[in-house]
Every structure is written in structure tokens, then in C-alpha cells.
């Protein structure tokens, strides 16, 4: 196979584990080359390897979406829900064809207050709006023509099921299996205690407007940040394309929750006690 690979962290260039992975892949007969931007991807590339953590995967996913190439996350980072695969397992799994391609939903954002030439309008995990000063935000959300009660909070996020273990989790959102066809709407540090995260179908169209004492707010999309006027209208929905992601057959989302988040860790769930 022709394999592209993407590395974000300079410390991983020349790292012994990375070099061992690349050596084993070449020995198995694969052609490898490095990429840094979408134009680097060569024709007839079979997949892109993202070497690092989930932050690297999010950047690599942008390269892969442009070219329609599936991406495989190889974990050289910390938690690794998107890049969950241990490098030692990857060469044998690829040689055996022991993997499948799954599709992950992307969010698309429309906002007329951002320059089109600098703005990539898609996100895999989540988009969020947040305040720039101690003053709270009023966030008005319309879902398919229906207005929700105003959120008074530090901000608001809209997450995909892929992003349910990212920022959404830290603000009290639910964990969703990656195959779940939903978006999560969750306030960030809400000042009205009777609001909770809301699950909406992935077919929903959302319109977000802000009330703020400040002139600007921050729009974040995965690991990218933009300044928007406080009066901006931000429209969010499903993107017209999806990210194609390689999943090794041995990978298991529930096991990843147990091992990475210690989900359900309890002395009562252990083995037989003396």
C-alpha cells in the first residue's frame, strides 16, 4: 500500500518508536512518505497515518478530508480516543487487512463575519463559542426553527458523537458511542442551574446568536480559534462529507473508556476478594 504519514510534534521526528514503526511498515512492502499540507498527498494513496495524539489526528483529518483518503490514528500521545492504536499493533493489522473503514460525522459552520479564504468551516469533535472577559454570555440557540431558552453561561458548544469524549465531556455532556447519529448542545459553566446538555438529531440545523457586553467572542472549532463580533450569527449543521477513519478490528470503544478514563473503576467491580 501507499501510505502517507503526518507528524505534528517535532519531538516525534526521529523518535525511536516512530522509526521502528516506519521501518516495519517498509519491511512489509508498504510505500511511505511524509505530508504536511493537503497538496503533499500523492495520487493513489491508500491511507494517511496520523502519528501522535488526538490533537495531531484533528489536524491530520483536515488533510485526509481534502483528499478523500481514510486516516488511521497511531497513538504516541496521552489518552488517544481518535488515535487509539498502539504502534506495535499497526503493521501486522495492515498486512493482514485486519481493519475496516468507518465514517465519522463532521460539523459545518457558516458565519459571514469570518474571511472565507482563511476559514476551514469543518470540525470533527466540536465547535464552541465563549466569552473574552469576566462578563457572561447570553447564547440564543434555534434548532430547526424552534428557539431554546437563552443560555446564560461562559459559552456553549455543539459536539458530535466523536467529540463526546473531548470538550463536551468536561462540561458534563454525555458519552456517546461513535456510531450514534446525534449532536450534543451543552452550555459551558451555565449561570442558570436548570439547563442541561441537549441531544439533537444530526440532521438538525442550529443557529446561534450571542448577547454580550463585549464587542467580540471566541469561536473555536476543534483546535482552531477565531474572533467573531458579539452580534455574529453562527449556523451549524452536518457537513456534506464525512471523515473516513480506519478502525483496527481489535479496537473497542468501551475498552478505551475503561483503560483511558478508568470508566466504572470501582473496587466492587474487581475480582474475588479474600
Phi, psi of 216 (to 5 degrees): -140, 165
Phi, psi of 42 (to 5 degrees): -90, 155
Residue 32, SS3? strand
C-alpha to C-alpha distances, 256 to 61, 102, 270, nearest whole angstrom: 20, 17, 18
**253: Cα within 13 Å, side-chain hemisphere:** 13
C-alpha–C-alpha distance, residues 24 and 92, integer Å: 9
Angle, CA of 75, 23 and 61, to the nearest 5°: 35
- Residues 6+ away with beta carbon under 8 Å from 254: none
Active site residue 54: yes
- Per annotation, catalytic residue among 10, 46, 54, 154: 54
CA end-to-end distance (rounded Å), the chain: 53
Residues tagged active-site: 54
Amino acid at each position: 500500500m501507499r501510505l502517507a504519514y503526518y507528524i505534528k510534534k517535532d519531538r516525534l521526528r526521529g523518535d525511536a518508536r516512530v522509526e521502528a514503526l516506519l521501518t516495519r511498515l517498509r519491511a512489509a512492502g508498504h510505500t511511505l512518505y511524509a505530508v504536511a499540507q493537503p497538496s503533499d498527498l500523492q495520487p493513489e494513496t491508500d491511507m494517511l497515518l496520523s502519528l501522535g495524539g488526538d490533537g495531531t489526528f484533528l489536524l491530520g483529518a483536515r488533510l485526509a478530508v481534502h483528499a478523500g483518503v481514510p486516516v488511521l490514528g497511531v497513538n504516541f500521545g496521552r489518552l488517544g480516543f481518535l488515535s487509539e492504536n498502539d504502534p506495535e499493533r499497526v503493521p501486522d493489522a495492515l498486512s493482514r487487512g485486519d481493519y475496516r473503514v468507518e465514517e465519522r460525522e463532521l460539523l459545518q459552520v457558516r458565519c459571514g463575519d469570518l474571511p472565507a479564504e482563511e476559514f476551514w468551516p469543518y470540525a470533527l469533535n466540536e465547535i464552541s463559542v465563549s466569552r473574552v472577559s469576566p462578563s457572561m454570555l447570553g447564547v440564543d440557540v434555534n434548532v430547526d426553527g424552534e428557539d431554546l431558552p437563552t443560555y446564560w453561561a461562559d459559552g456553549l458548544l455543539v459536539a458530535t458523537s466523536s467529540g463526546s469524549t473531548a470538550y463536551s465531556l468536561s462540561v458534563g455532556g454525555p458519552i456517546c458511542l461513535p456510531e450514534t447519529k446525534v449532536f450534543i448542545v451543552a452550555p459551558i459553566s451555565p449561570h442558570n442551574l436548570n439547563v442541561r446538555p441537549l441531544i439533537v438529531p444530526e440532521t438538525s440545523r442550529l443557529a446561534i446568536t450571542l448577547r454580550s457586553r463585549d464587542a467580540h467572542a471566541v469561536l473555536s472549532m476543534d483546535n482552531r480559534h477565531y474572533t467573531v463580533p458579539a452580534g455574529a450569527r453562527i449556523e451549524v449543521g452536518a457537513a456534506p462529507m464525512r471523515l473516513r477513519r480506519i478502525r483496527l478490528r481489535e479496537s473497542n470503544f468501551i475498552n478505551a473508556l475503561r483503560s483511558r478514563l478508568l470508566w466504572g473503576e470501582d473496587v466492587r467491580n474487581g475480582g474475588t476478594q479474600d
